[in-house]
Amino acid sequence: MIGSLSGTVRAVVRDTLILEVGGVGYRIGVPIGTLTTAAEGKDLFLWTHLAVRENSQDLYGFETREELAWFELLLSVSGIGPKSALNIMNAVDIKSLEGAVARSDAGALSKSFGIGKKTAEKIVLELREKVATVST
């Protein structure tokens, strides 16, 4: 498992960046906030999550441990994969996400691309009791 990476941004490609670490370039899916501040040649540290599936291994990176914790909480919801989790995090900031779950406000989550009302309700239902475990 890869827990974190520290290196130099070599390229920003669509919704990913290439981070060079020790001569190896890792393609990493990151939130939009990270993409907008990432610049070629800039040093960057990311907390990472490696999503291993039958036919792919995808790396996701986050600038804070809180972002990583929320990403992994979203992955714990049945039917939510890494791309959907990242879409939710791109559409709703972490404080709003935490508030929506605490208030059982599925409407705030259904703004996310590809997240319908039923999925938003499932997220609220499955994460409501877990929200208190996320530390900053």
Which of 2, 27, 25 lies closest to 15, judged by CA?
Answer: 27
Domain span(s) for CATH 1.10.150.20 in the chain: 65-130
- Cβ atoms of residues 102 and 127 within 8 Å: no
* Per-residue pLDDT at 59: 98
pLDDT in tens, 69-100: 999 999 999 989 999 899 888 888 888 888 88
Confidence of residue 109 (pLDDT cuts 50, 70, 90): confident
Task: Specify the pLDDT at position 47.
Answer: 98
Q: Give the pLDDT mean for 101-117.
A: 78
- Dihedral sign for Cα atoms in the order 43, 49, 52, 58: negative
Q: Does domain 4-62 have CATH number 3.30.565.10?
A: no
CATH node for 65-130: 1.10.150.20
Q: 13-25: per-residue pLDDT in tens?
A: 988 999 999 999 9
pTM attached to this predicted model: 0.88
Model confidence pLDDT, tens digit, residues 25-44: 999 999 999 999 999 999 99
